Structures are given as structure tokens and as C-alpha cells.
Amino acid sequence: MKSNEPIKIEFHEQAAARITKLAQSVLSKVGTFGRIHSQTGGRTELHPVANFSDKGEIGPISWNPGSVNGLGLETGRYWESGGMRVGWEGEGYEAVKSLASRFENSDPLKGRVSSRFVLDEVFAWLRDKLEAKRTDTLPEFMAARCSEEIKHHDIWVPVYRTYSARDFLIGNVQFRTISRPMLERWYSRIPREELKRAPGAEIALNRQRSALQGTLAASVRVEAEPRKASETAQADADEAVALLRFLSPVNWTCRLTSHCLPIGKENTHTTMHLAVEDGSIRGIEKGTIEVGPAGWNIDEARETSLTAGVLEALHGLASQRTKTEFRTDLYGALQLHARHSVATEVAHKLVFVVAAAESFFLRNSSEPIQKNLGERVAFLIGHSVDERRKVIRNVDEFYSIRSGLIHHGRDVQEDQKDVVDEFFFNVWFSFSRLLGSAGHWRTRDEMFTALENKKLA
């Protein structure tokens, strides 16, 4: 099926009848709330700037007046009718949202439409119905709109400064290189004369192209309406990129941060300061803070002895992550562990690594942490008595540092970072071993039993 070919959506007859009845109930809850009065703010001297273009929008540009609470959550939605503000708020608005939720979670639409899309479309039908502009039922309207909007999409999410000469898979996400010919075709659509008239635009486009060309993108095939397709692709890309970072040596230390993230989330920080003399600005200085590798070549990462076969194992885990309880738990632990590689503060890194390790290597919260975690990791990665003793000793030393941070607010000192790095590596190596044996156990309890038997052998 072609990417732009519509998909036929139909609702079950009985479900459509129930929704039609519910829609009539919601229509009866409409209210009138008077006119909308604009409010003037304070006298803060802001310098507003905006550039609106339909090229960056998903679908037509629309505006729905509404009300929000102190948390910024929408609590009402209205339109102008006969000089009055008409719509739903409070319990009436909750009924509108409940009606929209029925569609979002229905069999033909679940996972294929966004909450925003459904709510906007339901509101549009309710408004037009009350304005006597529609004669169809809500299920008929939604079936037609969803049939128009739900399509197959190929969405590529670029990954910041991450490269590979070979395409590869992690689960349902394919990593592909954004090639020069692809970008040539895209940028050639802009007439040269137009760029000459706007030299600033050409500079901006060249910067964009420099960020894209040659880098990897997480490619996701999605069947959904455009907004949901984007949400799904971004979520799938985030998880796949998180697993990809498991290959990076950044995982072995608390001193570095990975910038391997979808572009826009790359975790680089900028600084700005004003040089002021006698109350006048003499200069504005900007800088960039990066605390990790400026770029990452996946091919090099795959060639080391420690990471050989790991990428393939990550793909296998992601492809069958719900096959067993063990795989599901391991996948979740790796997603949690991946957050440490992009954390910038040592304390934050420590929390994520500990959370990942304890969530996987402990049966429950009542087990003694250091003894069980230390012994299980030791028997998983240690080949000799001396190696296992070294692992257990490191766990004890690390938890002393952790206790100082968590219970007494003491930052990790420079002379303690070697201990932290050793613990980080041991945890990473343990997960690496488990990736290679994910098919051996159905549950973590089976793994615990096998390690106990190994200890008593």
C-alpha cells in the first residue's frame, strides 16, 4: 500500500449506536458563558517575534478558544455563536473528553490517532451539529475523517552526530544514513533566485544540511494520522536510540555524557554572558558545553571485543521483548539504565545506574541489597574467586559512596570516581552478559536460582 493511500475505517454497528446515543447526551450539556473579554497584562517590556508558516504545520492551522487551569490543562472549549461564547466546561467538558476517549480507544482507531486529533474532530462535529451544519452521525463523521487522515508514513528521526556505514535494525526501528542525494533532491526544490534574495535563509539551510547529511536516522513505518504518526515515531526512536547507546563506552564512566539522542534533544548546553562596563553592554558572548564525544561512529563501537554481537542481541531483545517475563524486565531495566548515559550530573548518573541494577538483580525490596546484588553480579561476570571477590568489594565500596550521597547529601568526590566507574562497568557488563543469554530464562527467578546453584557448586 502506498504511503499516501487512504485506509478505510469502519465502526461496529452496535458500538456506533452506543456512541451516537452518548453524543446526543453531550450535545445536551452545551452551555452559554457570555462574551470573551481580553485581559491586559503588566508592563513588562518584552520584544515579541514570531514567524508563522503552514510548511511546519501538521494539518490545517486552526484555533479553538478554551480555558485552562493553573497547571495549563484545558478545562473548557468554546466557539463564538450569535455574539456569545458557547461550549462546554467543567463536567460538560469532561463528557466531551470521555466521548473522544471512546473513539481513541476503539478497535479501529487504537494506536492510530492522537488524543489531540480525536478531541479536535469530536469538538468540530459537536459545534457544527449545534449550528445545524451537519446531518451525519458522529461515528459516520469520525469514520470519514479518520479514513481521510490515517495513512502509512515513513518517518525518519535524525540522531545527533551518530554515524554508520551500514544500516541496521533495533526492534522495528531501522537505522539508516541520511544521504547526500536525498538532501540534494530536497533542497533543490528551492529556486536559486529566491535564496539569493534571502542570503540569511541560505546560511540557515546550510547549517541544517550540515547537521543532517551523513548522520543516522531512526526510521519508523507507522500507520496513523499525521500527529499520531509523529508521536509514535518519536517514541519508538527514543527507545531504540536509548538501546543503541548501550554500545557506547560512555556507559563505563561517570565522567562523560553521551549526546547520542534525536536531534533537538541532543543534551548540549549553551552559555551566554554580557560584558558590561559603566552600565553599557560591551559584548555578548556565547559558548557551548559538551561533556562527551562530539561524534560517534557505530562501526567502531561494533568492532571492539566487549561489544561484539551486542547490537544484534539488542535487536533480538527489542524484537521479542514481550515473549517472556525475563525479556520484558530486561528491556525495562536497559531503558532505565540508558538514562544515565545522557545525564550530566554524577549524582543523577549514579541514581539511574543503581535503579536499573536493583530493579533487575533484586527479587524484592526486603532483600539485603549489597549482599544479593554483589553476589549475583559477581557470579554473573566473574570467572574466578579473585574476580568475584573484587566485584563484591567494589559493590560494598560503591554503596558507601551512594549512602553518603543519598542519606547525607555528600557529592561524589574526585578520588571516589574510580570506584564509581568500576561499579558502572560491572553493571554494564552484567547487562551485556544477560543480553546474550536472554533466551535461557523465562523469569528473573529462574536466573536467581541458576546463580544460586552456581554459587553452591
The rounded distance, in Å, linking the Cα atoms of 190 and 349 is: 45
CA distances from 383 to 306, 386, 390 (A): 16, 8, 11
CA distances from 57 to 147, 153, 204, 226, 381 (A): 20, 16, 19, 10, 51
What does the pLDDT read at residue 67? 87
CA distances from 216 to 154, 258, 316, 409 (A): 15, 15, 20, 40
296, 162 contact by CB (below 8 A): yes
DSSP H helix total and E strand total for the chain: 16, 12
The rounded distance, in Å, linking the Cα atoms of 388 and 374 is: 9
The rounded distance, in Å, linking the Cα atoms of 338 and 240 is: 10
pLDDT one digit per residue (tens) for the chain, 457 residues: 455 566 899 999 999 999 999 999 999 999 998 765 555 555 667 766 655 554 545 555 555 688 888 888 999 999 998 888 999 999 999 999 999 999 999 999 999 999 999 999 999 999 999 999 999 999 999 999 999 999 999 999 999 999 999 999 999 999 999 999 999 999 988 888 777 788 788 888 989 999 999 999 999 999 999 999 999 999 999 999 999 999 999 999 999 999 999 999 998 888 999 999 999 999 999 988 777 788 999 998 888 889 999 999 999 999 999 999 999 999 999 999 999 999 999 999 999 999 999 999 999 888 999 999 999 999 999 999 999 999 999 999 999 999 999 888 889 999 999 999 999 999 999 999 999 999 999 999 999 999 999 888 7
The rounded distance, in Å, linking the Cα atoms of 270 and 287 is: 5
**3-class SS letters over 86-147:** EEEECHHHHHHHHHHHHHHCCCCCCCCCCHHHHHHHHHHHHHHHHCCCCCCCHHHHHHHHHH
User: In 10 A of CB 405, how many CB atoms?
Assistant: 17
125, 157 contact by CB (below 8 A): no
Residue with cell 560584558: 275
What does the pLDDT read at residue 48? 66
Strands 31-32 and 84-89 come out as antiparallel
For the record, the C-alpha cell of 264 comes out as: 533537538
* Terminal alpha carbon distance of the chain: 58
- Three-state secondary-structure class, residue 270: strand
For residue 227, how many C-alpha atoms fall within 13 Å in the half-sphere facing its CB?
13
Counting Cβ atoms within 10 Å, is residue 10 exposed (0-12), middle (13-18) or buried (19+)? exposed
The rounded distance, in Å, linking the Cα atoms of 183 and 17 is: 49
